[in-house]
Each structure stands twice: as structure tokens, then as C-alpha cells.
Amino acid sequence: MVDEGTDTGHPHAAIAVRGLGKRFGEKVAVNAIDLDVPAGSFYGLVGPNGAGKTTSLSMATGLLRPDAGRVWIHGIDVWERPLEAKRILGVLADGVRLFDRLTGRQLVTYAGRLRGMDPTTVAERTEDLLRVLDLEDAASKLVVDYSAGMTKKIALATSLIHSPRVLVLDEPFEAVDPVSATNIRSILAGYVERGGTVVVSSHVMDLVQRMCSHVAVIAAGNVLAAGTVDEVRDGATLEDRFVDLVGGRAQGGGLQWLQS
């Protein structure tokens, strides 16, 4: 455990988390976790439902005030200098609505302008994002009329518009069709190659194993394992290793009658 008072986070970490904790009433959602996300890594965050992934990511991105602990984005304390941290951070939050009475184009533009970006740059980047995410045809439709996958993609676009140094994506592939998922993956891979850092949370182990360079396994508010994907999976597949770590496989029995 690192001393909280003097530490300024790992110097090369894109995201450094120390003693981050949150409780909701009696339930400890996140139990004083430490985590270092190296700059330039493609970091997967995996864990069962209710493990505290979204809570941790919300606290790391300024959406939810932690009860304890600190978070640094490239050395900037998120809770002491939130505006500076948010400038280099792109966030795709899970389970939040969008301003869905705007069209796709308006929404992405809106995100850029909220950040005080120059309008010409916003306009150029908006068109690029719409094109790459295959949303050009839907750009003039209201987001409320989008499908779940399109909504996810337009939300991703709003988190990319300012070219952040660190991208935190909570469940970015949920409800996204395979073609779009491949597109998004290649965008993210390209971004990491050019020095960006990506954190994704996901349920899909297979995807994380193929896509990510690093992974952390979270369950019941604790980090059970963290490191490069190869370290964590230790020769097995990530999925097997995950089930080992988290436990909870139903024993014996099974549904003998479930047959045709």
C-alpha cells in the first residue's frame, strides 16, 4: 500500500488509482482498490455483474465522488483539478441517456462545443467521426430514433471529438453489431498505436483476450488480478482463469430435463 499523502501516482501511468473506495449504505461497492493503467496500454476491466466496474470507472472519470482514495490521469488529480483532468479524458459512460432530441450531428458538435473547441475543428472532426462510425446516413436523424448499437456509436463519437489522451469506455461493445464492433476495435487499436490509452470494461472475455494488452479482474469491489493479459491468464484462456478467480460456477446437478 502506498502512502496516500505524498504519492502523486505512478509517473508513467495514464491512470493511477490509490485506495479508491465507495460504499452505498451498507454495501461496499468498491473496496479501496489500487490500479495502474500504463500509458499506451489497451486495458481491459472484467468482472461479473455488480462487481463495481461501473462504480470504479465513474469515480475515475469524475462522475461519482469517491468516499476514499485518489485518482490521477497522467499525474493530474481528478478530484483536485477536475477541469484539467477532463480535458485529456474521453468518457463513454454506461447506462446514461444522451441528449437524444438532438440529431447525431448536433450531439457530436454539442460535445465538442461544450469543451470550448474551435467550431471549424469541431465541424471537421464531427464529419470524420460520423463517416468512420458509419453514421453518415443517420447523422440528420434524432438520436432518440436510433437503434441501441447506433446510440452506442454516437456516444463513442462524443467521447472522441476532443482527441483525448486517455479513453475510458464502459461496455462499448454492448448491442453493437459485429461489423461496427470490428470498426470500433480497429479505431481503438489505431489510437493506442499512436500513443493513446484505452480502458474498456466488458463481459466478453474472448474479446478482451484478443484485443487488450492488459487486464484487471474485479469482483465484489476488489481487484483480484491485474497485469498484462498473458500474466493474468497464466497459460489458460482468460475465461477459464476468470471463472477460477471469481468462482461461483454452479456445482453438480444441472438441468437434466432440458433436452428435446
* Sole window of 3-11, 39-47, 82-90, 207-215 interacting with another protein (rule: CB under 8 A): 82-90
CA atoms 163, 165, 170, 172: torsion sign = positive
Residues of span 45-74 touching another protein by CB under 8 A: 61-65
- Look at residues 169, 152, 160 and name the one whose alpha carbon lies nearest to residue 111: 160
Show Cβ contacts of residue 257 under 8 Å, excluding neighbours closer than 6 positions: none
Whole-angstrom Cα distance, residue 191 to residue 186? 8
With CB under 8 A, what is the number of residues at the site for another protein?
Answer: 44
Task: Report the phi/psi class of residue 189: left, alpha or beta, with left for phi > 0 and alpha for psi in -120 to 50.
Answer: alpha
CB of 247 to another protein, least distance (A): 30
CB of 126 to another protein, least distance (A): 9
CB of 119 to another protein, least distance (A): 4
CA atoms 27, 220, 170, 74: torsion sign = positive
Interface residue with another protein, options 2, 96, 175, 236 (CB under 8 A): 96
195: contact with another protein by CB under 8 A: no
Interface residue with another protein, options 142, 187, 207, 245 (CB under 8 A): 142
Q: Put the strands of the sheet holding 222-228 in their side by side order.
A: 89-92, 166-170, 197-202, 42-46, 214-219, 222-228
Binding mask 98-137 for another protein (x = CB under 8 A): xxxxxx-xx--xxx-xxxx-xx--x---------------
Closer to another protein at the Cβ: 149 or 227? 149
Interface residue with another protein, options 18, 53, 70, 86 (CB under 8 A): 86
229, 208 Cβ separation under 8 angstroms: yes
Q: What is the CA radius of gyration of the chain?
A: 19
Interface residue with another protein, options 7, 80, 145, 234 (CB under 8 A): 145
Interface residue with another protein, options 141, 165, 185, 203 (CB under 8 A): 141
Closer to another protein at the Cβ: 32 or 85? 85
CB of 140 to another protein, least distance (A): 4
Strand partners, 91: 168
CB of 13 to another protein, least distance (A): 20
56, 20 Cβ separation under 8 angstroms: yes
Closer to another protein at the Cβ: 118 or 193? 118
Question: For 184-208, b where at least 16 C-beta lie within 10 A, e where not — what string?
Answer: bbebbeebbeeebbbbbbbebbebb
Q: Which residues bind another protein (CB under 8 A)?
A: 61-65, 82-83, 85-87, 89-91, 93, 95-103, 105-106, 109-111, 113-116, 118-119, 122, 140-142, 144-147, 158-159
